[in-house]
């Protein structure tokens, strides 16, 4: 049974903690990834970070519409370029969406589910989701990047930005 997404909680919650690096990629990490992918799909999201299911480890999963899923362990942004305004929403902050600044492109380094080093260069929604999920690993939510209250809106569940 896949874990439930944890919604926004007090400041001492796992969502606000810096997640730990994964020292060894074993079966339990692969199970965590499968569980996160199932949770992300059920919630209709394009990305999910382990702290969102209550696990304080540096693991993220992403799936862009029409593409294969990607899991990254110990992801690090090694390069960012440009800046643009995006509309964003988070599965852990239901009912809201907002406009924030994100990079135009990012390069992320990490490991795949077999421990192989991977490097991903992305732009568009994938770059946005990578920054969003890696923020989650540092206890940061997109609402922390909101510059003024008029940039945060209540949204209908069926519309608005992609959840991540
Ligand atoms: Ni999120």
pTM of the model: 0.92
pLDDT (0 to 100) of residue 158? 53
Q: What's the pLDDT score for residue 9?
A: 58
Instruction: Compute, in angstroms, the gap from residue 71 CA to the centroid of ligand 1.
Output: 15
Cα(92) to ligand 1 centroid in Å equals 6
Q: Which region, left, alpha or beta, applies to residue 35 given φ > 0 means left and ψ of -120 to 50 means alpha?
A: alpha
From the candidate CATH numbers 3.10.110.10, 3.90.245.10, 3.90.45.10, 3.90.1640.10, the one assigned to the domain spanning 13-154 = 3.90.45.10
Averaged pLDDT in 10-residue chunks for the chain of 164 residues: 62 88 98 97 94 96 96 98 96 92 98 98 98 98 93 74 82
Ligand 1 centroid to 109 CA: how many Å? 20
Predicted local confidence at residue 156, as pLDDT: 72
Give pLDDT, residue 1: 54
Q: Would you call 81 helix, strand, or coil by DSSP?
A: strand
Q: Are 56 and 102 in contact (CB under 8 A)?
A: no
């Amino acid at each position: 049974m896949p874990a439930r997404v944890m919604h926004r909680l007090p400041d001492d919650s796992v969502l606000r903690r810096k997640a730990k690096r994964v020292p060894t990629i074993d079966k339990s990490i692969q199970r965590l990834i499968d569980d996160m992918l199932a949770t992300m799909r059920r919630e209709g999201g394009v990305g999910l970070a382990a702290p969102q299911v209550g696990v304080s480890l540096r693991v993220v999963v992403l799936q862009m519409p029409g593409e294969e899923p990607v899991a990254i362990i110990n992801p690090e942004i090694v390069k960012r370029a440009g800046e643009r305004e995006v509309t964003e929403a988070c599965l852990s902050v239901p009912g809201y969406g907002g406009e924030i600044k994100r990079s135009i492109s990012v390069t992320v380094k990490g490991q795949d589910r077999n421990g192989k080093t991977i490097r991903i260069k992305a732009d568009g929604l994938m770059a946005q989701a990578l920054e969003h999920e890696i923020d989650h690993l540092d206890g940061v939510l997109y609402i922390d990047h909101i510059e003024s209250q008029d940039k945060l809106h209540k949204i209908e569940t069926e519309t608005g930005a992609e959840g991540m």
